[in-house]
Amino acid sequence: MAGCNILIIDDDRELCTLIRQSILQEGIEADCCYSGSSGLLQLKEKDYQLVILDVMMPGFDGFETMEQIRKESSLPILMFTSKNDSASKVRGLRAGADDYLTKPFDMDELIARIISLIRRYTRFNGKDGQIRTYEFDGLTIDHENRCVITGNGEFELPPKEFDVLLFLAQNQGRILTKRQIYETVWGEEYIYDDSNIMAIISRLRKKTEENPGTPKYIQTVKGIGYRFNKEV
């Protein structure tokens, strides 16, 4: 993890210091900001591989801060929520958080999640800028040739099917809402018509899954959207 930098946005200064000291042992450096507004300014000054963001902050709270970050960046965001606050967890995931932890948390678990999110992000955002072939367990997505390879061979997908699959895979492990998928792939304002997305997901599962009824790659997150399985 050498050379990686993360930004911690949390008004709890003692916790920020503790996290920073702990991740330094993994070769990860961290900057700390104690408000949403200062965090947004800091993101413009330096390149980061991850943002840790607390939900409860005075003034610009975590949700408002994340909304602004998502207008500019696809950086992975790990949110801190309060214990038993399921509403904040769901709202955070809908708004674009990649993962969350409830306070208080185990530091070893936080470090493990930080490393996992950074690895996933750098895997799909190489500094060389080259087009990639994405390798998963039993599935290869060839970005350059816009085709997929499964146990049944190599074949091309219709444009929208490929674009949806690629968007999900590039955000592996992150829950994506139907709005996010539609507005990214179609490039239009979401009109609350899920039939196109649902039909494409169904076709993708039939073409890429050994058992479409219990999908290995594209998982449904009930009431929110879809997620490309982070375990493959």
What pLDDT sits at residue 127? 47
Q: Which residue has the higher pLDDT, 47 or 126?
A: 47
What is the per-residue pLDDT across 107-131, written as a single tens digit (0 to 9) for each?
A: 999 998 898 888 766 655 554 445 4
What pLDDT sits at residue 143? 81
Give every CB contact of residue 180 below 8 A, 6+ residues apart in sequence.
Answer: 96, 225
SS3 state at 139? strand
Instruction: Assess contact for 164 and 201: CB atoms under 8 A.
Output: yes
What pLDDT sits at residue 193? 64
Mean confidence (pLDDT) of the chain: 85
Strand order in the sheet with 133-136: 133-136, 139-142, 147-150, 153-156
What pLDDT sits at residue 125? 56
**Which helix (H) or strand (E) element contains residue 18?**
helix 13-24
CA–CA separation, 118 and 11 (whole Å): 23
What pLDDT sits at residue 81? 85
Percent of the chain with pLDDT strictly greater than 90: 36
> Full-prediction pTM beyond 0.75?
no
User: For 207-212, what is the mean pLDDT?
Assistant: 88
CA–CA separation, 52 and 11 (whole Å): 12
Percent of the chain with pLDDT strictly greater than 70: 91
* Tokens coding 32: 């700390």
Left (φ > 0), alpha (ψ -120 to 50) or beta: where does 218 sit?
beta
Q: Map tokens 């018509």 to a residue.
A: 193
Q: Map tokens 């998963």 to a residue.
A: 136
What is the per-residue pLDDT across 55-105, written as a single tens digit (0 to 9) for each?
A: 988 888 899 999 899 888 878 899 998 766 677 777 777 777 878 888 889
Q: Write the single-letter amino acid at 81.
A: T
Give 43: exposed, middle or buried? Use CB within 10 Å, 0-12, 13-18, 19+.
Answer: buried
What pLDDT sits at residue 58? 84
CA–CA separation, 125 and 69 (whole Å): 17
CA–CA separation, 166 and 152 (whole Å): 19
Left (φ > 0), alpha (ψ -120 to 50) or beta: where does 136 sit?
beta
